[in-house]
């Protein structure tokens, strides 16, 4: 099963992708991870990515599609989760062509719907463990009182510099301008499934499982 997770920054796409990897043996294809991996790989494609990033230029759609092509030609496990791609209608068309070329298809697009105000409140309270990456939240899952991560015991707390209200609203604006047209695109294709992205992690996971089955 090949799926896309759609939703604004902070909706929890990465968290839910990890759960699907654990439960279904799916392979998460995160654009950011693939670019970092390619840059350090030493392959021909990797050298192109490294040069583009060294210049500070944006990586083109052709490069990202090339990286995805390399990934889906290998072991597909329980299918692929596209996380962070596509972001535009042009990318959606390119992905559809690539999957068809590889004799594959897209089974579902899961939109994680959120309330913007609640999302801003949640993300500005977010922190992560510097040791293991476990996610905490000042409101729903505070950092342990003893100052140590419950998962690994690290005392290093990290907050993203752009996890503030003004920055997040700017990221949301970019999402609605560029990525939200994909919702109508995939709805018209009959592939769109919608879940409430603001519930507890387990509830959202159950809703996604229901949408996929």
Helix (H, G, I), strand (E, B) or coil at 199: coil
Do 39 and 49 form a contact (C-beta atoms < 8 A)?
yes
Residue numbers annotated as active site: 13, 87, 126, 160, 171
Cis upstream peptide for 86 (omega within 30°): yes
Residue 41, CB-side half-sphere exposure with 13 Å CA sphere: 16
68: region left, alpha or beta (phi > 0 left; psi from -120 to 50 alpha):
alpha
């Amino acid at each position: 099963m090949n799926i896309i997770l759609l939703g604004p920054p902070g909706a929890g796409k990465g968290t839910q992708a990890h759960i699907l990897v654990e439960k279904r043996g799916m392979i998460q294809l995160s654009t950011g991870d693939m670019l970092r991996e390619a840059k350090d790989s030493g392959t021909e494609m990797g050298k192109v990515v490294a040069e583009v990033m060294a210049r500070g230029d944006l990586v083109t759609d052709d490069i990202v599609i090339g990286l995805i092509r390399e990934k889906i030609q290998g072991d597909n496990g329980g299918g692929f989760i596209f996380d962070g791609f596509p972001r535009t209608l042009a990318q959606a068309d390119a992905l559809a062509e690539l999957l068809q070329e590889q004799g594959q298809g897209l089974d579902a697009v899961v939109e994680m719907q959120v309330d913007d105000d609640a999302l801003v409140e949640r993300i500005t309270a977010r922190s992560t463990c510097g040791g293991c990456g476990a996610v905490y939240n000042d409101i729903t899952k505070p950092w342990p009182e003893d100052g140590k991560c419950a998962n690994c015991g690290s005392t290093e707390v990290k907050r993203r510099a752009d996890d503030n209200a003004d920055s997040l609203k700017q990221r949301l604006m970019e999402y609605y301008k560029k990525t939200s047209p994909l919702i109508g695109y995939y709805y018209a294709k009959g592939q769109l499934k919608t879940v409430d992205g603001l519930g507890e992690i387990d509830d959202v996971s159950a809703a996604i499982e229901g949408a996929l089955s």
